[in-house]
A and B are shown apart, each in its own frame.
Chain A
Amino acid sequence: MRVLAAMSGGVDSAVAAALAVQAGHDVTGVHLALSPDRQTLRSGARGCCSVEDAHDARRVADELGIPFYVWDLAERFTEDVVDDFVAEYAAGRTPNPCLRCNEKIKFSAVLDRAQALGFDAVVTGHHARLADGQLRRSVDAAKDQSYVLGVLRPDQLASAMFPLGSMTKDRVREIAAERGFAVATKPDSHDICFIPDGDTRGFLARKLGSRPGPVVDAATGATVGEHDGTYGFTVGQRKGLGVTVGDQRPRYVLGIEPVSRTVTIGTQDLAGIGEVRTGVPTWTGPAPEMPFAAQVQLRAHAAPVACEVAPGEDGGLRITLAEEQRGVAPGQSAVLYEPDAQRGDRVLGQAAVETACEREETVRH
């Protein structure tokens, strides 16, 4: 097959490209330039879009003897991922930009372009298993990235290759070392690639400016403080609230109301979520018949919980959780899994959280 390897300059995508070559595919490497103002050198362990990262990717491609190009997708990335990220926060929601990038950039813009140019598939270094059109968790539970791929549709999965899903991260580094790749010991990238200093709040403050509003205690309805912008908060957040309430018990962000810019906080007993209502779901295969039992993962690194999935309003889902969860933020993806200890939990689909509430009670944002 003619395969396009998306190469970030990290060890995962380097080994994925190498395995695709080894499997006998006709591989071409592509580095995606996503940042409009690229730094010359990487700063810290974050990010993947500096010129140095492109150089790292090119070094591997040259060792593999495959053609290598840089595709400038900065404009689309800014529109579809960065602007969306900012807008979501401005609307009081908590987006997952990696998921958005997979949905809109890697398996949309890049895949479309690759197919138009005559490629059959796009191979990436994601840690997830993909066989017979079924997307499953990686064998390396700690590195599993199936959550951020949960948004892919069957047609996208049909043209995707994830050769790393059946091996641990340690094994990936071993392969890179065996092949003499300089990136074998390159640190993992963390957090959000377009916020290289890791200061999300600072990034949003620069984009959105000061938008002050009240911090309200859910129990009393009293205003207990002021904030500079709701974008500094995420539902479930405990640290950095900037207020202390009389009884000194820890408070959590329960809700964010962007119009009045109200951040509602409350104690742990109020923070539990028993039911999640979502927007319109996407499915990795045929839509399952509802209702059905499944597991749901509500954040990138959250543990999955058992749930019951039923139709909700406006084509969305109503997901009833078997145990209460904290920190379920509107905007995050609820990724549904079918547990399978043998072959790896299978990703069924995902939907963005619209509202999270205590079971059968009032909906709150």
Chain B
Amino acid sequence: MTYLDHAATTPLLPEVLAAMTEQLGRVGNASSLHASGRAARRAAEQSRERLAEALGARPSEVLFTGGGTESDNLAVKGLFWARRQADSRRRRIVVSPAEHHAVLDSVEWLAKHDGAEVTWLPVEPTGRVTPAALAEALGDGADVAVVSVMWANNEIGTVSDIAALASVAREVGVPLHTDAVQAVGQVPVDFAASGADALTMTGHKLGGPMGAGALLLRRDAECTPLLHGGGQERDVRSGTLDVAAIVGLAVATVAAVGSREERAARIADLRSRLVAGVVDQVPDVQLNGAPLDDRIASGPGRLPGNAHLSFPGAEGDALLMLLDARGIECSTGSACSAGVARPSHVLLATGADTDRARSSLRFSLGHTSTDADVGAVLEVIGPVVERARRAGMNRR
């Protein structure tokens, strides 16, 4: 099996499995006062400190959640509600149309049910949001509740300069949330240095468990809770702490951030060979997103493991199926619960036409990717594309 869908989820790190297994064998609610509770709390708080350190945050800025979707919902809705509560003029949400659905659908829900107004940020053909575009959208910021711009795009891998964007938002006093689910462990992420007010991260994209994530939230950021209850996590996210998951999340984050430089270089090299090999066999293939060697102020302008390609005349879901039948696992974009292939909203946002959006495929490499994986794709991609094109021609 050739697994090239690490952006969907990446294999658990062995040290995470070991740490979680050990913790799962222990009793203890981190909110309890007795010895078992204290031991659980100690494990959770140590994890909080380690995770904070790895991401340039303070421990008190780490709120453990059930994953990326929850963190995005909490940040977008929580910041919107709190900011509007403080000043009823603040109804506007400024957001990029290339965001993950966890952000987009939260924003659209607020627009539909809670009086929010949405300002869609223009994105460059690479998918990047520029500081100038954000400044223009914000105006004097008086009516803006929150800005949300992802650190790195989950589909096309484009990295935006969050520090520059956060500084624009800060100038007009508007909090900025960034979904960094794909960025952590892949490109340098320092919460304090970025100037962002809230940052979403999750475990299973970097070798940790599913269902465990965090929202990094500045201490001075007001955020209305989604979940009410026992008052855990600064009263912003109630619920008994899942200590084993938190331990796993922290171990994974520390490992992924610690090994990032070496691993990113290795993966970027594999990825570039993959793209070059595909271009060799399918000369009219189109690379979506930023150039492979793109740079921005904070580092790489594109995720090292991301190869997002459009194959004119072929359909993404036909390509995916043919590759799947040959033991190669990749994706047409973000997984969709209904299973119906829709043209990627991210590509459409970058100005691509529907055909290009429908003909795309995402290969995402990760910590277990090897030379042999790249070889396996290159062995079959030519005939697969040819066959998918024949099937594509049958469509009206």
**How far in angstroms is the closest Cβ of chain B from A70?**
4
Partner of B391, one of A33, A72, A116: A116
Partner of B390, one of A71, A76, A116: A116
**How far in angstroms is the closest Cβ of chain B from A6?**
14
> B338: nearest residue on chain A (CB-CB)?
A51
Given contacts A116-B387, A117-B388, contact A71 B325 (CB under 8 A): no
Residue-wise interface mask of B (360-396) relative to A, using a CB-CB cutoff of 8 A (1 in contact, 0 not): 0000000000000000000000000001101101111
Partner of B325, one of A28, A38, A51, A109: A28
Bound-state CA distance A71–B358 (Å) is 13
> A30: nearest residue on chain B (CB-CB)?
B321
Q: Is A180 an interface residue (CB 8 A)?
A: no
Q: Which residues of B contact A28 (CB under 8 A)?
A: 321, 325
Residues in A32-77 with C-beta less than 8 Å from chain B: 33, 38, 51, 54, 58, 67, 69-72, 76
Contact A58 B339 (CB under 8 A): yes
- Count residues on chain B whose CB falls below 8 Å from chain A CBs: 21
Q: Is B143 an interface residue (CB 8 A)?
A: no
Given contacts A69-B339, A72-B341, contact A113 B394 (CB under 8 A): yes
Contact B387 A70 (CB under 8 A): no
Judged by DSSP, the binding face of A is mixed
Bound-state CA distance A63–B316 (Å) is 26
Q: Which residues of A contact B390 (CB under 8 A)?
A: 116
Q: Is B355 an interface residue (CB 8 A)?
A: no
Bound-state CA distance A51–B339 (Å) is 9
Bound-state CA distance A116–B395 (Å) is 11
Bound-state CA distance A112–B394 (Å) is 7
Contact B325 A67 (CB under 8 A): yes
Q: Which residues of A contact B337 (CB under 8 A)?
A: 51
Q: Which residues of B contact A67 (CB under 8 A)?
A: 321, 324-325
Bound-state CA distance A54–B388 (Å) is 24
> A70: nearest residue on chain B (CB-CB)?
B339
Q: Is A118 an interface residue (CB 8 A)?
A: yes
Contact B321 A31 (CB under 8 A): no
Partner of A76, one of B317, B387, B391, B396: B396
Counting residue pairs across A and B whose Cβ atoms lie within 8 Å, the total is: 48
Contact B391 A117 (CB under 8 A): yes
Residue-wise interface mask of A (290-304) relative to B, using a CB-CB cutoff of 8 A (1 in contact, 0 not): 000000000000000
Q: Which residues of A contact B341 (CB under 8 A)?
A: 70, 72
Q: Which residues of A contact B339 (CB under 8 A)?
A: 31, 33, 54, 58, 69-70
Q: Which residues of B contact A71 (CB under 8 A)?
A: 317
Residues in B294-338 with C-beta less than 8 Å from chain A: 317-318, 320-322, 324-325, 337-338
Contact B318 A117 (CB under 8 A): yes
**How far in angstroms is the closest Cβ of chain B from A15?**
22
Q: Which residues of A contact B395 (CB under 8 A)?
A: 113
Bound-state CA distance A116–B387 (Å) is 7
> B324: nearest residue on chain A (CB-CB)?
A67
Contact A117 B340 (CB under 8 A): no
> B321: nearest residue on chain A (CB-CB)?
A69
Bound-state CA distance A113–B387 (Å) is 10
> B337: nearest residue on chain A (CB-CB)?
A51
**How far in angstroms is the closest Cβ of chain B from A5?**
13
Residue-wise interface mask of A (110-150) relative to B, using a CB-CB cutoff of 8 A (1 in contact, 0 not): 00110011100000000000000000000000000000000
Which of B340, B342, B395 has most chain A Cβ within 10 Å?
Answer: B340
Partner-B contacts on A (CB < 8 A) = 28, 31, 33, 38, 51, 54, 58, 67, 69-72, 76, 109, 112-113, 116-118
Partner-A contacts on B (CB < 8 A) = 317-318, 320-322, 324-325, 337-342, 387-388, 390-391, 393-396
Known contacts A33-B340, A72-B342; 17 further A-B pairs (Cβ under 8 A): A28-B321, A33-B338, A38-B340, A67-B321, A69-B339, A70-B340, A76-B396, A112-B394, A113-B318, A113-B395, A116-B391, A116-B394, A117-B318, A117-B321, A117-B387, A118-B322, A118-B387
The 4 closest A-B pairs by CB, nearest first: A116-B391, A70-B339, A112-B394, A116-B390
Some 7 contacts from A to B, beta carbons below 8 A apart, are A33-B338, A38-B340, A69-B339, A70-B341, A72-B341, A113-B391, A116-B387
